[in-house]
Structure 1
Amino acid sequence: MTTSFGIAQRTKTATDFSQVMKQADLALYAAKKAGRNCVKIAQQP
């Protein structure tokens, strides 16, 4: 079993829940692309 995580946080420009989830989703796909057992933090917009 392997895991990948995408992490995002609310910022001044990304205050809406859907915006934060979109950033987390992008980070998750970056983690999956980077390999197994990886954590990526979302880029600040």
Structure 2
Amino acid sequence: MQATRAITIDAPVEDLWPWVVQLGQGRGGFYSYDWLENLVGAGIHNAS
């Protein structure tokens, strides 16, 4: 099974880009569950 999900964001690129580039390991995280990120070995830790 394969699924692709998408959303439409009604905003100009210059407003969205700063949010996109801070995603990922060593940055702002993946906006997911810590247990899920660590299950795949991402090593993400939140502030608490």
State TM-score, norm by structure 2: 0.29
State TM-score, norm by structure 1: 0.29
The structure with the largest alpha-carbon Rg is 2
Q: Which has the higher helix share?
A: 1
Q: Which has the higher contact order (CA 8 A, sep 6+)?
A: 1
Q: Which has the higher strand share?
A: 1
